[in-house]
Amino acid sequence: MSKLVKALCLLVLMTTFGSVWGATGVAFVHGTGKQTNALNDYWTTSMVNSVRQGLPNQNNFVVINCDFEQYMWDSQAAGCLAGQLHTFINQRGITDLVVLTHSNGGNVMRWIMSNPTWDSRYPLIIERTRWVNALAPSSLGTPLADAVMAGNVFEASLGWLLGYQNDAVRMQQTSWMQHYNSTWLLGTAGRPGLPRGFWNVVGTDVHAAVWNTASYCGGYQFQVGLAVTQWWLNSCSDGFLECSSQNGAGFLWFNDVQRTNRGRYLSHHQSRRQCHNLDIILRNDL
């Protein structure tokens, strides 16, 4: 069933049972890194404020701040995410939760949905989640994590993007993610499906030409860095993750050029920014 069909079914339910449906909310889940102010440092207030305009009550949003330098199942990662989502759901009376994840945040959210008996807070989160919109998720890992852990030249050049030799980077090595996907995680090929939709937005290339205005959204220096790291990836990548990894679990929602303004690419950095109408696409999906 396509996402559009599911959305129409949800609309019918909300129209029919509006009085008991409850509140819709959105959660912004960051990627690798230890965040204490993800609103400003990871997503930016302009991105979050634009997306939450799609909510019936624009105050029903939460920006997660956790330590995603840990393994996904760690108490500071999935435990922290579960705690903040559980509190948000209960305090705001959320019965219809859309979760927006970026990069490794998709792995942490997928851990929660794949292991409902791991933590007593997980079942409620899963029950209240409508679906996850996974922006450039690292579902199959990235060769760049392999390079960082090997201590080669990537370690210095990727510090701003991925971090150094922490557990989250170690976890995102391709062979490690292959193991987790075949054992602990759901949603990949040959595995049972996830209990809630996991819809991927895939970045297919990087704009970095100095004359191209699309190169400047989110900061030109980041585009240049991603264009360099892209040399070590498949031709279809967002500068950090190959397209196959971004669409390795769940379902494809869209490749960047299919929906963005003027068919522009979304680099790994731009897929968490107010770039090329991404914020409007996410807003309308609420």
pLDDT at 9: 57
Q: In this model, does residue 8 exceed pLDDT 60?
A: no
pLDDT digits (tens, 9 = 90+) for 238-266: 999 999 999 999 999 999 999 999 999 99
pLDDT at 269: 95
Q: In this model, does residue 109 exceed pLDDT 50?
A: yes
Residue with token string 């031709």: 235
Amino acid at 152: N
Distance CA 24, CA 259 (A): 24
Q: Which two tokens stand for residue 2?
A: 């396509």
The percent of residues in the chain predicted with pLDDT above 90, rounded, is 81
Average pLDDT score over residue span 211-225: 93
Distance CA 265, CA 276 (A): 8
Residue 131: enclosing H or E segment and its boundaries?
strand 129-135
pLDDT digits (tens, 9 = 90+) for 136-147: 999 999 998 888
**12 or 210, greater pLDDT:** 210
Amino acid at 214: A
Residue 15's pLDDT band (cuts 50, 70, 90): very low
pLDDT digits (tens, 9 = 90+) for 57-78: 999 999 999 999 999 999 999 9
The percent of residues in the chain predicted with pLDDT above 70, rounded, is 88
Residue 16's pLDDT band (cuts 50, 70, 90): very low
Amino acid at 66: C
Distance CA 155, CA 282 (A): 33
- How far from the centroid of its chain's Cα atoms is residue 202's Cα? 10
Average pLDDT score over residue span 69-96: 98
Identify any residues that bridge with 27 across adjacent strands, giving them in sequence order. Answer: 62, 99
What architecture is domain 3-11+22-285? 3-Layer(aba) Sandwich (3.40)
Distance CA 279, CA 258 (A): 15
pLDDT digits (tens, 9 = 90+) for 34-45: 999 999 999 999
Residue 7's pLDDT band (cuts 50, 70, 90): low
C-alpha distances in Å from residue 25, one per residue of 7, 55, 89, 129, 276: 15, 7, 8, 9, 24
pLDDT digits (tens, 9 = 90+) for 172-203: 999 999 999 999 999 999 999 999 999 999 99
